[in-house]
Structure 1
Amino acid sequence: MRPLDLGTGLQRNILMYARRNLSPYVYVSSRSEKDSALQLGIRIPEVINDRSSDGSVLRFVFLDNVCAVKWITGPKKGHAQGPTRTEFQKQVKESYANIILHSQGALLPTLYGKMVRVPEVSMAMSPLRRILISLEELGRIATSEFEKTLKSNSAAKRYFTLLEDLRFIKLEGDYYVAGEGMTNLKAKEIEPPELYEQILGSVIEQRSKYLQEVLHWTMIVPYLRWSNSYYLPSYEVGRLVKMERNDLIDTYVRFHEARRPMLT
């Protein structure tokens, strides 16, 4: 959304207050018909470095409805009422972070096939792989068979629950057997390595939040962040940009406000 026309003097007064006290880059993103409150957004300039012959690009990130500022009418003169500069900065950071998270979510389906080949991710997913291989070979399996290798019964149940939620396996009596999801993949027609990659890729695609919060596979997060630090700027300019090492690091830092990470 782009800035609205200022319209009334009241709106101009609020905008003057906001640009003086919050940021010179704020704009009116929406207005309330019921009262004198205005929703303000902010325009953030960013340079996307491109070392190719196309050159770098200046773009603007528009964050709509970051905060509300209301005009209070007094006996002599009115005044604006809104967040402090510190509160506004916090809200801007949250809005910006939401854009980055949304971008990561949109990027994830295009990456999950590659992610299962990342050594750290592949190692973390090995319990799922063992379950699927055992099911392929034995036809049925029980959680008790994995309690020792997964260190605890609760850990084993979490992996089985994940695969059951995705309908790759289902419970019949005391044993798990192949579920609808695994049957639909036509397992008999696909060589096991390819089959397992498809299943594991689907797990990441559909349950990435579960993997991070319940199974604690935190290695997925930095992989997504580094990938997004390249592909989001490329998406914004409509082409694959050419970045140097420091360009990618600076973009990562800007997106995530982390300490300067090291690339190895």
Structure 2
Amino acid sequence: MIPKISGPHEELTAATANLRVYEPLSAFEDWAQSIILSSPKRSWQQANELEANLLWARTLRKISDPFPHDEPEFFRSVTILGHDGAEHTRYCPAQLQARSVLASEQAENAMRSEVFDLLVPPAARSANAARLDANRLAVDLTHLNTRTATWGIPLSWFVLFHEDDEYEVHQEGDKLRSVRLLTTFGQAVERMAWAMQVLVTHAPQTPLFEELGQLGSWLEGFDPESVIELDYGTLAELVWPDDSANDLRHGLQALEDEDLTSAAAAYRRLANRWLGPRHLARAN
């Protein structure tokens, strides 16, 4: 069964997860701060539903055109308790235009040209290119607060989280809609540094080491007071409760201890857990 997106919508063809960075207000330009301060605060569920509604509206256009037109920028928010005992709010921009361009490029690389042209017609791509603010697009692409994965979650993302991190579950009745994990920027960077040290010493040729290098380069561009969120999205229905972060940490610890049997067992648990979503991806 293909999971549904939040809210009263029909089924979509892909299950996606997102890794988001929420930054302090001071990290944003004046125009962005103005939007943040003048907009009503939305819960995590409300922000997911808003983004899903916008996607659904684009999907239902009479003429195939999946790109945002006049949709205003909006910001997700998360409130955390700081070391000083006070609450602090962090923000993540939707950046829909930049993300739609990236999604289009990924789709073009993943399917036959004639199929891609039906889903994303050349006329729509040309019209979108004419609408884009080139300077704004360049800034967003070099400072993209959201990474998206389809039909799975990259192992490198799990390195940033531990099983005892704060998490939130979103259900509607008995239907699981999504789950999110939250951690501070500092904790995430420490965990990634340890994982990279283990891998550079014991397994520098693994794909995970390269993935972590790319992830680290991405995180370098964000404020150190940020909060990082892993939003399982519609994948939660397929894998939650999920021990992937725990299994990966134990596997890396076993690797550091040169216990290759335990490291291999942890990897097998990870691989088996995500086998179902991979099969659904091929089915779609």
Q: TM-score range by the shorter chain?
A: under 0.3
User: Which structure ranks higher in relative contact order (CA pairs < 8 Å, sequence separation ≥ 6)?
Assistant: 2
TM-score normalised over the length of structure 2: 0.21
For the pair shown, which has the larger CA radius of gyration, 1 or 2?
1
